[in-house]
Structure 1
Amino acid sequence: MTALSGRRVQAARNDGVILTAAREVFLADPKAPIAAVAERAGVGISALYRRYANKEDLLRRLCHDGLRRFNEIAEAAAAEPDGWAAFTGFLADVVDADVHSLTVHLAGTFTPTEDMAADARRSGVLVAGIVERARHSGRLRPGADVNDIGFVLEACAAIRVPDADRTRVLRRRYLAVIVDGLAAPAGTLPGPPPAEAEANWRWRRPR
């Protein structure tokens, strides 16, 4: 290994440590200063600023990474031949990946980039396809809509207890309750589904 490649490996390792620390810090307190991330990561503040110009830049990276992971899961679900299995497996995998904790805590705290907007549009297309296939399977409850899905995932992400393993179990427990509620044959859901603007308003109104 050359000295240059060694430095790159170390830089990538440091970046991973910083991102892990940032996720922990900002999920606990979205208003925490960026210095708290450096302290949690065990790096100097100058090392952090070499990678991220400011807190908003770091928040963008965290949320964009989460969005990319979401799309990877959705793309895998799109390859599942059974429409209902694709739908339920997608929900379970996203809940396990915990990407919506970032949405719950950090939406509206930064201005998304065009790349993020493009990936968000891609996620909308993917999820719409997953929901439509579940509908065609005949197993999705009447009235369930693609815009319901974000709120379902956020509801699971809001479940959090001090023990991480127990958090995962509880999220799966309540996801099972929700999936049963989304399954046919059941009555039509009360009221209309969320409009797109209602589902996405937090991303469009930076605080």
Structure 2
Amino acid sequence: MNGRKAQAARNDQVILDAARAVFVADPGAPIAAVAERAGVGISALYRRYAGKEDLLRKLCADGLKTYIAEAETALADEGDPWNAFAGFMRRVVDADVQSLTINLAGTFTPDEDLRRTSTRAAELAERVFDRAARAGALRPGVNVADTSLILDQLAALHLGDEARTAQIRHRYLTLMLDALRLTSAPPPPGPPPTAEEVTRRWKV
């Protein structure tokens, strides 16, 4: 990558970082707030993104690609299936992918590329979950959609600064993982969430 392209990539990342911060805090914020936070002119932003929805789709696509990469890492782990599953959950919490879901779902219209990426992410997560389940490492009566909603709940936790928030999220992730590993426990009450229930929130 030459110097000009490298600078353009850095500028784009500044815009994306600003967009994530702005829209996770306030999904209804105008795109001008992103330009202000990024320290760029609004025209520079529009040269890269046609509008707010285009920017939101890019943010969520990048989040899904991170999620996919972590799932692929878990599936490539030929060791203990439980450790691969738990490691996947911890890395997704560290990446804070779910903050995009809980704050941006339903605020824009996903395009076909984003739907395909989302389907791929869901398929890989199910494979990670199923491998742990087949190994007898998960309690009965839970499914992969349960883990998706657990990650959403953890992303909603905010306490103090970023470092303290990360500590709290991992504290409660550990408690939830311990609960998921109670293989002798009875199934949780009520039926688990369905894929349709989990994805319904993305409909505008």
With normalisation by structure 2, the TM-score equals 0.96
Q: Once the 2 structures are TM-superposed, how far is the Cα of residue 172 of structure 1 from its aligned partner?
A: 0.3
| Aligned 8 A contact 1:139 1:185 in 2 | no
Deviations 1:72-110 (A, max 9, x none): 000000111221111111100100100000000001111
Letter in 1 for 2:157: I
Task: Check if 1:61 corresponds to 2:58.
Answer: yes
Q: Secondary structure at the match of 2:136?
A: coil
Hey, what does 1:157 align to over in structure 2? 155
Task: Check if 1:85 corresponds to 2:78.
Answer: no
Residue of structure 2 aligned with 1:141, choices 135, 139, 142: 139
Hey, what does 1:72 align to over in structure 2? 69
Q: Once the 2 structures are TM-superposed, how far is the Cα of residue 136 of structure 1 from its aligned partner?
A: 1.6
Q: Is there any run of 5+ residues in structure 1 with no aligned partner, and where?
A: none
Task: Check if 1:35 corresponds to 2:32.
Answer: yes
Hey, what does 1:170 align to over in structure 2? 168
Task: Check if 1:25 corresponds to 2:2.
Answer: no
Q: Name the CA distance, whole Å, in 1 between partners of 2:200 and 2:37.
A: 32
Q: Name the CA distance, whole Å, in 1 between partners of 2:111 and 2:82.
A: 33
Q: Name the CA distance, whole Å, in 2 between partners of 1:68 and 1:51.
A: 20
Q: Name the CA distance, whole Å, in 1 between partners of 2:76 and 2:65.
A: 17
| Aligned 8 A contact 1:27 1:101 in 2 | yes
Q: Once the 2 structures are TM-superposed, how far is the Cα of residue 185 of structure 1 from its aligned partner?
A: 2.2
Q: Secondary structure at the match of 1:166?
A: helix
Residue of structure 1 aligned with 2:44, choices 43, 47, 52: 47
Q: Name the CA distance, whole Å, in 2 between partners of 1:32 and 1:162.
A: 23
Q: Name the CA distance, whole Å, in 2 between partners of 1:178 and 1:24.
A: 27
Q: Once the 2 structures are TM-superposed, how far is the Cα of residue 202 of structure 1 from its aligned partner?
A: 1.0
Q: Name the CA distance, whole Å, in 2 between partners of 1:56 and 1:14.
A: 19
Q: Once the 2 structures are TM-superposed, how far is the Cα of residue 159 of structure 1 from its aligned partner?
A: 0.6
Q: Name the CA distance, whole Å, in 1 between partners of 2:88 and 2:100.
A: 18
Q: Secondary structure at the match of 2:196?
A: helix
Hey, what does 1:122 align to over in structure 2? 120
Moved over 6 A (4+): none
Q: Is there any run of 5+ residues in structure 2 with no aligned partner, and where?
A: none
Q: Name the CA distance, whole Å, in 2 between partners of 1:28 and 1:129.
A: 32
Q: Secondary structure at the match of 2:126?
A: helix
Tell me the matched-pair count.
Answer: 202
Q: Name the CA distance, whole Å, in 2 between partners of 1:162 and 1:30.
A: 21
Q: Name the CA distance, whole Å, in 2 between partners of 1:71 and 1:173.
A: 24
Q: Name the CA distance, whole Å, in 1 between partners of 2:23 and 2:132.
A: 35
C-alpha RMSD of the superposition:
1.1
Letter in 2 for 1:166: R
Q: Name the CA distance, whole Å, in 1 between partners of 2:25 and 2:126.
A: 32
